[in-house]
Amino acid sequence: MQLLALGLNHTTAPLAVRERVAFSPDEITDTIAHLLERCGAASQGGIHEAAVLSTCNRTELYTACEDPAAARASVLSYIANKRGSALGTRTAYLRFPTGRSCPPHFPRRLGP
């Protein structure tokens, strides 16, 4: 199992892009359910756990997955389908820490 983070923030994306990919609380619940139900197969990345953080300055999705490359493709496809092509053609705005670079990043978001 590996960790994958996918995110953008005020330093990587302009406000118009951040607004298009922000998630409401209900959308966060639906997104997590979708990722766990539809992306658990190995061909979809083998996503077994997911978390979403969405504020006015950042949107980040975290997954515990078997195949980070396939999970990344599944998450990007889901977001592009939900938000139009907001991220499908704009991956330059995103960060994709995985594996060892992901764990130090995630706990900083959970701190006080």
Catalytic residues: 56
Contacts of 36 (CB under 8 A, 6+ apart): 47, 48, 49, 50
Q: Would you list the DSSP string of 18-86?
A: HHHH---HHHHHHHHHHHHHHS-SGGGT---EEEEEE-SSEEEEEEEES-HHHHHHHHHHHHHHHBTBT
Starting at the edge strand found earlier in the chain, the sheet holding 58-65 runs 2-9, 58-65, 49-54
Reduced to 3 states (helix: H, G, I; strand: E, B; else coil), residue 16 is helix
